[in-house]
């Protein structure tokens, strides 16, 4: 082989996934816990390493919201019962809304037709990208992304229902530095729920308001509304019982779960997807898991203690201005009741907030 050929081979860039796991494991031994946990977000083949460490670290989501009177973002911790300031480096001027969060990153929009993705726990790390030109009103019903924005595998997706017909959805996909936008029609009707889609098994799952599922294959860019699982609610019942619906992947067994919240949290039902029969199974006990739900981002985690397990936390909180202490508002599957902090009245659900999972 000539010297020129060797140089050409050296210059060829290979994907991170080609790096052997045993070498990556050696590198991880000299890395911080936070860096190890983030490995799985950079490259999916490294996920076994990050999962093995992440499963040993007890953390839970914080509720991020904008306090207009102070012009800054706040982070409410429902378990430690306190409110902290978010990163001071985040500029809230022109801020329009929060859209999604994952692995400490938060997707937001501003008034300059721009989306920005900010890491709330790593020194004002921000990635900007233009908003799709054919969606001037920021009208996504659900947003998600695959891996962290600094990863070469980064991909973002937004979905919107249409007023034209229930079998039509609008999907925008960002990857390789550009947006693609397409309307997809299905045989079966699909009422798009206002909740985040979930990456699961290499494809994206979307929860309909009636409890059925839509699937988007990002590689083929194809959309399908599944005939199973069957909808949990009939059309007439769905109209008579308004509810919020959420889709989440179990932190423990990686199964898909759906959560339906009725009457502002006074009744909550949880369902697990039985993939062997493609049917929803009612869940009466979450074990040592707890779920944090919000239309922007829903997250399942293993509870740090028995006392906080088996709960579904809602995107609001109770707060006592005298003691400056507060607590999360949650529905307990054990008591079948809605609970607030020390009997104080809870703050109404905020229109613009998102659960954010801290990174280390």
pLDDT of residue 340: 82
Per-residue pLDDT tens for 166-185?
A: 889 989 899 888 888 888 99
Measured CA distances, 300 to 56, 256, 259, 282, 356 (Å) = 15, 10, 11, 17, 12
276-282 mean pLDDT: 96
pLDDT of residue 10: 47
Nearest to 98 by CA among 138, 62, 68, 60: 138
Share of the chain above pLDDT 90, in %: 35
91-112 mean pLDDT: 78
Q: How confident is the model at residue 267 (pLDDT cuts 50, 70, 90)?
A: very high
- Long-range contacts, 72-76 (Cβ 8 Å, 24+): 73/120, 75/120, 75/356, 76/317, 76/326, 76/328
Per-residue pLDDT tens for 40-53?
A: 666 767 667 666 55
pLDDT of residue 342: 62
The domain 58-356: what is its CATH number?
2.120.10
pLDDT of residue 237: 54
Identify whether the C-beta of residue 40 lies closer than 8 Å to the C-beta of residue 47.
Answer: yes
Q: How confident is the model at residue 261 (pLDDT cuts 50, 70, 90)?
A: very high
Nearest to 241 by CA among 270, 213, 207, 266: 266
* Number of Cβ within a 10 Å radius of residue 354: 26
**33 membership: H or E segment, kind and range:** helix 33-42
Global pTM reads 0.80
Domain boundaries, the chain: 16-57, 58-356
Q: What is the mean pLDDT of the chain?
A: 81
């Amino acid at each position: 082989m000539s010297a020129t050929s060797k140089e050409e081979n050296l210059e060829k860039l290979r994907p991170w996934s080609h790096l052997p796991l045993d070498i990556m494991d050696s590198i991880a031994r000299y890395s911080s816990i936070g860096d190890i946990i983030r490995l799985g977000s950079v490259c999916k083949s490294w996920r076994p390493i990050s999962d093995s460490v992440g499963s040993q670290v007890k953390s839970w989501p914080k509720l991020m919201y904008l306090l207009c009177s102070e012009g800054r973002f706040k982070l409410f911790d429902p378990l430690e019962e306190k409110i902290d300031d978010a990163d001071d480096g985040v500029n809230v001027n022109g801020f329009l809304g929060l859209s999604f969060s994952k692995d400490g990153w938060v997707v937001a929009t501003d008034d300059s037709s721009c989306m920005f993705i900010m890491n709330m726990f790593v020194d004002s790390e921000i990635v900007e990208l233009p908003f799709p030109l054919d969606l001037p009103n920021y009208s996504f019903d659900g947003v998600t992304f695959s891996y962290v924005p600094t990863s070469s595998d980064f991909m973002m997706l937004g979905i919107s229902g249409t007023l034209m017909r229930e079998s039509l959805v609008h999907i925008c996909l960002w990857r390789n530095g550009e947006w693609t936008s397409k309307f997809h029609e299905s045989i079966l009707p699909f009422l798009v729920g206002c909740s985040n889609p979930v990456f699961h098994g290499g494809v994206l799952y979307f929860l309909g308001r009636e409890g059925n599922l839509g699937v988007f294959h990002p590689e083929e860019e194809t959309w399908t509304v599944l005939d199973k699982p069957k909808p949990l609610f009939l059309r007439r019942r769905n109209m008579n019982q308004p509810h919020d619906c959420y889709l989440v992947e179990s932190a423990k067994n990686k199964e898909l779960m759906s959560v339906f919240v009725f009457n502002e949290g006074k009744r909550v039902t949880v369902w697990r997807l039985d993939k062997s029969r493609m049917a929803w199974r009612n869940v009466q006990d979450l074990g040592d898991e707890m779920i944090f739900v919000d239309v922007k981002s829903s997250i399942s985690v293993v509870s740090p203690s028995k006392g906080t397990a088996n709960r579904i936390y809602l995107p609001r909180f109770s707060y006592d201005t005298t003691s400056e202490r507060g607590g999360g508002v949650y529905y307990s599957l054990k008591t079948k009741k809605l609970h607030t902090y020390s009997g104080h009245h809870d703050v109404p659900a905020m229109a613009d907030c998102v659960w954010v999972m801290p990174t280390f």
